[in-house]
Amino acid sequence: MREAQQQLHQARAELRAFLADPDLPWSVEPHDGWTDPQDRWYPTQRPATTGWTEEQQQTAQALRARELELVIAVSGHPFWSTLDRGQVVAARMALKRAHEQEDPDGGAAAAAE
């Protein structure tokens, strides 16, 4: 389960990086763009875009599918049913943070394996 959690962190980072790419069009679909008048309280504008390419759409779909697969694997793992209700949140948080800490003697982080 720790491996799945690590993969989930990686999948989320890859999806975030893909969506944050400044070369990625702001709209998935083609759009004419807009410019709000300057006298509005928060003027905005977006340039016209041809939208995402088929390859970009497939990449985003694959990254989201992988993230969903890993979320299901981690959250639906049988380990969670072995804990008392009051322990689940603490154990889940420990699993999420396991990659941040070194645990040479196999303490709480290793228990979630």
The DSSP result for 12-26, as a single string, is: HHHHHHHHH-TTS-S
User: What is the count of structural domains for the chain?
Assistant: 1
Structural domain includes residue 71? yes
**For 49, which DSSP code?**
B
| Residue 71: how many other CB atoms lie within 10 Å | 14
Q: What is the mean pLDDT of the chain?
A: 89
Domain range spanning residue 76? 2-26+53-111
pLDDT tier for residue 76 given thresholds of 50, 70 and 90? very high
Burial class (CB in 10 A: 0-12, 13-18, 19+), 8: buried
Q: Is 31 helix (H, G, I), strand (E, B) or coil?
A: strand
pLDDT single digits (tens) 86-108: 899 999 899 989 888 755 555 54
Structural domain includes residue 41? no
Structural domain includes residue 44? no
Structural domain includes residue 17? yes
